[in-house]
Structures are given as structure tokens and as C-alpha cells.
Structure 1
Amino acid sequence: MQIQLSIVIPCYNMERYLPQCIDSLLDQNLNPAEYEIIIVNDESKDSTLKVAKNYAAKHANIIIIDKKNAGVGAARNSGYDIARGEYLYFLDPDDYLAKNTVTTLLGLMENNTLDILTFHSMPVVKRHVPNSLNIEHGVKKLDVQDGISYIANIKHHNEIWWFFIRRDFMVSTGIRFIEGRWMEDAILCSELFLKAKRMAHADVDVHRYRILPTSAMRNKTPEHYNKVIYDNANAAHVYKNLIESVPSEHKDAARCIRRLKTRQQSFVFFLMVRLMKSDISVEKIPEMLSGFEKIDAYPLKKFLGPDYHGIGYSILVFIFNRKPLINPFIKFFRTFYNLAK
């Protein structure tokens, strides 16, 4: 039987949450022969590997890759390389899916010959939400468009877990996750979307995004925090080539570029926000800003708009766009931030 779906789960120290993640995938009304769960253990220090092996012993469609730690991008690539399904899904181990939603998504992918299908995600903290809020209502007819028009018309997220991908399409693009850096899925999402010929959004509640204070993007250790800052800077620079790759003759080129510019400048904006709480010397900021100016990612002229708005954003953009205000503002903020710790 043809494997329809390969689900890749990169894991590092996720013994507490992995069982719920796997259980949600086993509760999908799917024939085990039709899908595979590829768990990539990225040299976890806890019992993640043991948990995975216990599940694999009971379920033949669960495959384990146990590898040296190399980060989430490398872990996802390792799972991608052995995936056999017609479609791909990259899920984080602390998240899970609403029950009996995957068959609907696979049907939509197949019936509409899609390269990519996006869907809704719900943030959760402690409460468990196992059921979809609207799957029983059915799915409206999809608005199928190419990726350039999709970006132009719909705000897209940075994360990889809110869409399915046709594997042959992803293979044909040659696109892979950047290894050794954060923001790797933010870059890959836009890269894939720009290449897609047929994609759509399904107005269906599927994914549960667990908000954890210990998650990678909320890790406050200085070394990790500073690495995320520099990897945000790298993402802003990578987006320069992405923006330039949009064909000018496309009917939605201008609006697509506008949204990609917003995303590029969001990396700069949130980098500056993180700088406020970091121990990176303010003396390094002018050099950073100079680099962003060269790629038209600074000043933040394209950041505020439909995707990012509100008084908080407006105040910070006002300050960040005025170089003489940045250093004294950050020094002032750090003084009170450190006292409040």
C-alpha cells in the first residue's frame, strides 16, 4: 500500500510531551499502512529516546532516527531524507493534532492537486483541546492559487507546522532546512511558497501549538538568546534574495513583495526588541543597522500595516527608526529590566 503521509518529528528533551503528540497522530482514523511517523532524536539527555522506542515497539509505522545533536534544522532534514509518503508534515514534539483531522487534509490535497495546504492552529498552555472546533462542519471550496498570490493575499506564519506539503514538489525545488541556525523554518516557508504552483488555505481547526516558557524561542540563557538575535539578522539578509526572486510580471508581484518586505523587517524589529533584553553591547548596533540599510530592511518603513499594528508596535518603530534614540533607550530599558529580575 502506498504511504500517503510522512510525519517528521524532531526531538530534543521532550519526554514529557512526546506521548501526547504521538497519541494524537495515532488517533486519526488512518490505516497504519498509509502513514509513517518519523521521530528524530537529536541526542536528547532525558528519556525521549526511550519513550520513542516504546511506541515503535508497538507500532510498525513509527520509525526512529537517533543522531548526534545538530539542531532542529538538521533533525528535520534527516527525517525528510528517509520520508516515503506522498505528502509531508513537520510537527514539533510538544504540539499535537486534533483527532480525525488528517484524513480531511489528505483528501483536500489529493482532490485539489495541491503542492501545499495550510490550516488553522490553536495556541494552548495547560488545557487539552483534543477535538477540532469545526471539522464536522465540512470545508468550504478552496481558493487555489499559486504561492506568490497566496503570500500577497494571506498573512502567512513563520512556522512549519501549519501546512502539509506534497513531497515530490518539495524534492523538485531542492529546498532544505538551513542547519545550525534558528529561523530555519521561517526561511523555508517563504522559499516553498514562492515555488508553489497550487496551494490553498483550509478554514479548518487542526493543530495545537503548546506555549512553553522553556521552548527554544523563549530560552533566555545569554548564549542562546544572542544566537537567536544574530540568526534573525541572517534571516533578514536571506530574504533579500527571496524578494528579488519574485517575477515582476506576475499580477500580484507588488503585493507579494510588500508582504515579504514586512516579514523581512519583522526580523529586524524583533531582533531590536530582543537586543533590549540582551547583553550584546549597544556599540554593535550601528554596524547591524548599516547592514540592514544596504538590503533595504531598515529603516522600518514597511513593517507597520495589516500584519503588525497597534500602539506598542508604533512607539517602538518610532524609536528604532531614529538612530540617536536607540542607544539611550536600550540602556535605559536594560537598567530597569535588570533591576526587575
Structure 2
Amino acid sequence: MRLSIIIPCYNMELYLKECVDSLLDQQMNSSDYEIIIVNDESKDSTLQIAQDYAGKHSNVKVIDKKNAGVGAARNSGYDSATGEYIYFLDPDDYVAQNTLPILLDVCSKNNLDILTFVSKSVVSKPYPYSKNIDSLDINTDLDIKDGITYIADKKHKNEIWWYLIRRDFIKNTGIRFVEGKWMEDAILTSELFCQAKRMAHTTLDVHRYRILPTSAMRNKSPEHYNKVIYDNANAAHVYDKLIATIPSSHPNAEACINRLKTRQQSFVFFLMVRLMKSDISVSEIPAMLSDFEKIDAYPLKKFIGEDYHGIGYSCLVFVFNRKPLINPFIKMFRSFYTLTQ
């Protein structure tokens, strides 16, 4: 078995078919890959759709479990995976035709722990074909490096759906998704990259990221919105432990740590942005900032730079880094925001 594709699902009846159909349209033998759909106690027809595919395709498997969140669903799929490589795909996304066999060939030929690739954001118009599959020589000048060097050289996405992972590699690290919290793939991605010995990036156009107003990160219900804020804070603290594991003897340690510090402070920055629109009392902010100071995630000294720049970011950082300005600024913003809703 060359590949296991794990799809965690919660109420995805509108999109699951396009996702699975794109995986079945890859010119691969069914014995070479498996599609593991993990139903996280959906309330719509997601489970029935998944079971229909499993009934028609021997390489489609369904795990039906009690709702425990996307991290737990991904872990369940990972535990049952048998492929040499693993791909975690969201059910509202899809992949371009015939791209997965190419990625697998590159991974196997070069014994890669991780292979990253290109993702394209889409709304409603379908983009089923890779824009450069016929013109790209994927093996030419493939730059293979360890994960610390990769992070040092290149800004990376938090999400899990833009790379393949060798299953033996992730298994040997013992790394799993944090369960019950958001930002779980942001944590796992950096943890995995830091331990990879052989990874590379290809400019092959593969993944389609569907932009949905109803996605988890855009959910504006107070309970969910506030949980994302607290889970951003948790991610910042997890990164403190991760940064401490980078060996100082590595030639690219400093550059890697700087980029991880930028990512850590991005969690604090976007937490503060979300706080502006939340109903969390401003009286909680000083304690949060004090905790961030202890791990050097605040003030935001490493945030503005190559990865995050522009007048908007700079103006907000100016305010966020000055404690006396934060409470009046947020109160003023909330008053204005309430009037415009």
C-alpha cells in the first residue's frame, strides 16, 4: 500500500463527493492507496455518502466515531492507516487530477520524510486540473534538506493538507494531533518539520483549498470564537517547548528559531485581533500578556518582518506592544464594531 488518505468529516455532505471523486481520479490502482473517511458524528448525510463510496470502492474505508473534534478524527484515521505515505485532506477540499502518483514517485525515489507542494485557493469555480503537470520536471533540482533548514529557508503554512508524510517517520516521532483544541495542525506541522531528516518542496500544483464562510476558523459563535482565542494561547506555549528542542549546534538553528518565534508571536497577534471582536473581558488581557512575557512571546518583537509585514500589521503591533493602549483601543473598537453589525 503506497498511500493512505485520511479525511475527517463533520457535516460535509455538500463537499465530500467532490473530494472523494478527485481522489478516485488519480490513475492509481485501488490496491495502491486507501481513502479513510472518519465520520465525527455528523448530523447530515455525510456518513451515508461515505458508506455509499465504501460499498462501491474496495479502497474506501469508513470509521464512524463519537464526536471528539478534528484532531481526534485525524488520529483515528492515522491509527488505521497502512500506506507507506499519509496524506491528511479536508473534506471540503480536493486535489488536481493525476497529481498524487507523481508525488508518491518523488517521495519513494528520494526516500523523503515529507514532501510539500502547491495549493490553490478556490471559491466555487472548479479547478480539476494541475496548471503545470505537463510542463514541470518535478525531479529537476529537487532541493532535499532537513526540516530545521527547511523552516529556516522558507515560510511554511500551518495547515496539514499541503504535504505528504512517510508513515514510518511520523510513527517513530510519536507525534500526534492535539485533541480537543484548534491549531492542532499548526502544532503538528512544525513539530514534524523540526524532526524531518529528508524533506523537499515541489512547485507542482496539487491541492485545492476551498474558501468557505462556514469553516471552523470563520465560525463567529461566541463559544467557538472564544475557544479559538484560548487555543491560540495554548499553541504559543507549545511552541515555547518546541523552540527549546532545536539543537544549537545545527548550522541553521538561529534562522529556524527566529522563524518559529515569528510563528509563535503570530498566534499571540491573531489572538489579540480576535479579542477585539470577542466578548472576553478586557480584564483577562493583562494575565494573558504576563504569561506570554514569560515565554518571550510578548512583546511582539519578532512578528513584523519577512513573513508578516505591511501598514496594517505594523499599526496593530504598535498598539498591542503598548499595554496602556490595549484596553481603551479594544473597548473603542468593540463599540464601533457593535454599531456596524
Partner of 1:169: 169
User: How far apart in 2 are the matches of 1:136 and 1:100?
Assistant: 11
- Dislocated runs of 4+, deviation >3 Å: none
Query: 295-304 vs 133-142, which deviates more?
Result: 133-142
TM-aligned CA deviation for residue 9 of structure 1: 0.2
User: How far apart in 1 are the matches of 2:177 and 2:66?
Assistant: 17
Partner of 1:52: 50
Partner of 1:321: 321
- Amino acid in the other structure paired with 2:291: G
User: How far apart in 2 are the matches of 1:102 and 1:91?
Assistant: 12
Q: Could you tell me which of 22, 25, 42 is aligned with 1:24?
A: 22
How big is each residue's C-alpha offset from its partner over 1:291-319, in whole Å with a ceiling of 9 and x where there is no partner? 00000000000001110000000000000
Partner of 2:233: 233
Partner of 2:292: 292
Instruction: Count matched residues.
Output: 339
How big is each residue's C-alpha offset from its partner over 1:232-284, in whole Å with a ceiling of 9 and x where there is no partner? 00000000010010000000000000000000000000000000000000000
The share of aligned pairs that are identical, in percent, is 72
| SS of aligned partner of 2:328 | helix
User: How far apart in 2 are the matches of 1:98 and 1:30?
Assistant: 14
Partner of 1:276: 276
| SS of aligned partner of 1:9 | strand
| SS of aligned partner of 1:14 | coil
Partner of 1:254: 254
User: How far apart in 2 are the matches of 1:121 and 1:9?
Assistant: 17
Within 5 A, what are the aligned runs for 1:138-217?
138=136, 139=138, 140-217=140-217
| SS of aligned partner of 2:197 | coil
| SS of aligned partner of 2:116 | strand
1:308 aligned onto 2:308 = yes
User: How far apart in 1 are the matches of 2:73 and 2:29?
Assistant: 26
TM-aligned CA deviation for residue 136 of structure 1: 1.0
Partner of 2:10: 12
Query: 134-143 vs 102-111, which deviates more?
Result: 134-143
| SS of aligned partner of 1:36 | strand
User: How far apart in 1 are the matches of 2:235 and 2:263?
Assistant: 10
Name stretches of at least 5 consecutive residues in structure 2 with no aligned partner: none
How big is each residue's C-alpha offset from its partner over 1:32-66, in whole Å with a ceiling of 9 and x where there is no partner? 11000000000000000011011111101000000
- Amino acid in the other structure paired with 1:194: C
- Alpha-carbon RMSD: 0.5
How big is each residue's C-alpha offset from its partner over 1:130-155, in whole Å with a ceiling of 9 and x where there is no partner? 01111111223210000000000011
Partner of 2:60: 62
1:338 aligned onto 2:338 = yes
| SS of aligned partner of 1:333 | helix
Within 5 A, what are the aligned runs for 1:13-162?
13-138=11-136, 139=138, 140-162=140-162
User: How far apart in 1 are the matches of 2:133 and 2:228?
Assistant: 36
User: How far apart in 1 are the matches of 2:131 and 2:286?
Assistant: 48
User: How far apart in 1 are the matches of 2:309 and 2:279?
Assistant: 28
User: How far apart in 2 are the matches of 1:59 and 1:254?
Assistant: 49
How big is each residue's C-alpha offset from its partner over 1:185-220, in whole Å with a ceiling of 9 and x where there is no partner? 000000000010000001111000000000000000
User: How far apart in 2 are the matches of 1:40 and 1:210?
Assistant: 19
Name stretches of at least 5 consecutive residues in structure 1 with no aligned partner: none
User: How far apart in 2 are the matches of 1:123 and 1:305?
Assistant: 24
TM-score scaled by length of structure 1: 0.99
| SS of aligned partner of 2:287 | helix
TM-score scaled by length of structure 2: 0.99
| SS of aligned partner of 1:51 | helix
